[in-house]
Structure 1
Amino acid sequence: MPAYEHNGFNMHYEVHGQGEPVILIMGITAPGTYWEDHLAEWAQHFQCTAPDNRGVGLSDKPAGDYSSEMMADDYAHLMDHLGIEKAHIVGCSMGSIIAQQLSIRHPEKVKSQVLMCSWARCDSYAKSVFDHILRSKAHMRHEHLVEFLHLLIFNKRSWDDSEFHKGMLEGREDAAAEQNPQPLHGLEGQCAACVNHNTLEHLKNITAPTLLIGGEDDIFTPRWMADELHAGIPNSQLHLYPKSGHAFHWENLEDFNQRVTEFIKANS
């Protein structure tokens, strides 16, 4: 896995496919390998770069609070390192707030953006959820933390689907055997970025075509968050999948992959 260094920070990434450059930014706790089921489709059409965020995977995990601005700058520096002048950005959850900041701070680098299960600001409920994720990390075994996250992100229909639920159980088994779990201080830094993110007054300045996409029944980032972004971002469209949660992209994998492919091609 190649890496680049900027101001003492090392960021690891993988590149898949050829064509229009697409930068994939994963969510909290998750390394870039979590894009695997989407790369199977997108790498057939685009050059996809999937890094590990600051605080997780093989990238550096400095102590202290991170911010969505700081993490957006990580991606701007990565694009400079790779010689990518402009790219399509796909951000999942925490990755979507990083994508927002990239569009605000470095608009010349963003051709279009897909904001998955996103938010412009946290309310008291959301802040409490992130606080509880941190407490769970501090006191639970890794596989039990993953189970708690599954309770937050998957819709009831996924729990009731025997094959889907089997995959969830296998994910917990993989977590128990994880050789490089995210350290608590890495999660602390990422949670700070999520809780303190607030772009509400800057959404009007986002000029890139934007697809806001999520699940109608998401309890982690509820519908009001998507509606607020849609109202604030001028050139945006909104699609919410029925009977779907925060992990709507796995619950509607084939349609989601194709929908994003078509959006990127339409804005290339």
Structure 2
Amino acid sequence: MTATDIVFGSGQYADVNGINLYYETHGTGHPLVLLHGGLASGEMFAPILPTLADHHQVILVDLQGHGRTADIDRPLDVTLMAEDIAALIDHLGLEKPDLVGYSLGGGVALQVALKYPHKVRRLVTASAHIRRDAIHAEILAQQGQVGAAAAEFMKDTPMYELYQRVAPRPEDFPRLLDKIGAAMAKDYDYTEEVRGLQVPTLVVAADADMAPPRHYVEVFALLDGGLRDGGWGGENRPKGGHALAILPGLTHYDIADSPLFAATTLAFLDKQD
């Protein structure tokens, strides 16, 4: 499959969990639910979607209030959006799909795997920190400025252009900023939950990500990773089949476009146990 084979906007809506959720299906093979980052949509994966769709049936979802999915009267919360994805998996009759999420989508995918491990085969969570205080201080300061008042200043950004082009209610952009800002201001720590993760998981980050590499190493350690030599035959690798990838030369803002991210994701998802 090539980029010219991908037609965005040709998807469907699923009425699940109280939200009319937009999704598209590309490619064939074992199903892979692909979740975008904040202020984006499934279209952000355009550079790597052909590669993923050559190996998997990719279900590309627009999360609550993003892309072609209209907002509803509830907060933007990863646990609530995880319920949407779990309901979509049931709605589509998917048999243990893989979940791949980036940033906000990585947090949503993680929550699905934590609460519904029986619905998920493998999980890839990219550039998604599990504690609010893990990210760099200057990023926390920037996040504190996100809100409706910033809408005017964002009119020249790709996020605004995309929203105006595809959103069912383009005038809701300030509302989305308010909700994103409120979500980012809320403290959270999923350390204890991650310790009990039952789904084989690949933790991915850029080497210059929103949180430093040590945070993702800490997450890997919660999953029994990096605590001992893996052994000649990999016999001492993490017991749950988990893995870690810190991708070189990338940042939080270009990792999801990277062929290296696509290749690393596929290598983990298609690994023969």
Pair in the same fold by TM > 0.5: yes
1:217 aligns with 2:208: yes
3-state secondary structure, aligned to 1:14: strand
The structure 1 residue matched to 2:151, chosen from 133, 138, 141, is: 138
Contact 2:151/2:177 (8 A) holds in 1: no
The structure 1 residue matched to 2:219, chosen from 229, 234, 243, is: 229
| Corresponding residue number in structure 1 for 2:260 | 255
Q: Deviations over 1:7-32 (max 9, x none)?
A: 43110000001110100010100111
Contact 1:209/1:267 (8 A) holds in 2: no
1:72 aligns with 2:82: yes
1:237 deviates by 1.8
Contact 2:67/2:166 (8 A) holds in 1: no
Deviation larger for 108-117 or 234-243: 234-243
**Distance in 2 (alpha carbons) for counterparts of 1:173 and 1:101:** 27
Q: Deviations over 1:173-216 (max 9, x none)?
A: 95597464561222333444444343111111112111111111
For 2:178, give the aligned amino acid. E
Deviation larger for 46-55 or 131-140: 131-140
3-state secondary structure, aligned to 1:54: coil
Higher relative contact order (CA 8 A, sep 6+): 1
Q: Please show how residues 95-134 of structure 1 align to structure 2 within 5 Å.
A: 95-123=105-133, 125=137, 126-134=139-147
**Distance in 2 (alpha carbons) for counterparts of 1:207 and 1:172:** 35
Cα RMSD (Å) of the superposition? Answer: 2.5
1:45 aligns with 2:58: no
> Relative to 1, partners in 2 of residues 1:229 and 1:138: Cα closer, same or farther, differing over 3 Å?
same
| Corresponding residue number in structure 2 for 1:245 | 251
**Distance in 1 (alpha carbons) for counterparts of 2:160 and 2:23:** 25
1:60 deviates by 2.0
> Relative to 1, partners in 2 of residues 1:134 and 1:222: Cα closer, same or farther, differing over 3 Å?
farther
3-state secondary structure, aligned to 1:140: helix
Deviation larger for 19-28 or 222-231: 222-231
* Larger helix proportion of the pair: 1
The structure 2 residue matched to 1:34, chosen from 7, 24, 44, is: 44
| Corresponding residue number in structure 1 for 2:232 | none
**Distance in 2 (alpha carbons) for counterparts of 1:20 and 1:135:** 40
1:73 deviates by 0.5
**Distance in 2 (alpha carbons) for counterparts of 1:42 and 1:266:** 15
3-state secondary structure, aligned to 2:24: strand
Percent pairwise identity: 25
1:17 aligns with 2:7: no
Contact 1:65/1:188 (8 A) holds in 2: no
The structure 2 residue matched to 1:206, chosen from 187, 197, 200, is: 197
> Relative to 1, partners in 2 of residues 1:175 and 1:56: Cα closer, same or farther, differing over 3 Å?
closer
Gaps of 5+ in 2: 1-10, 225-239
**Distance in 1 (alpha carbons) for counterparts of 2:89 and 2:259:** 28
For 1:266, give the aligned amino acid. K
3-state secondary structure, aligned to 2:82: helix
Report the count of equivalent residues. 240
Q: Please show how residues 54-203 of structure 1 align to structure 2 within 5 Å.
A: 54-123=64-133, 125=137, 126-134=139-147, 137-143=150-156, 146=157, 171=158, 178=165, 180=167, 183-196=173-186, 197-203=188-194
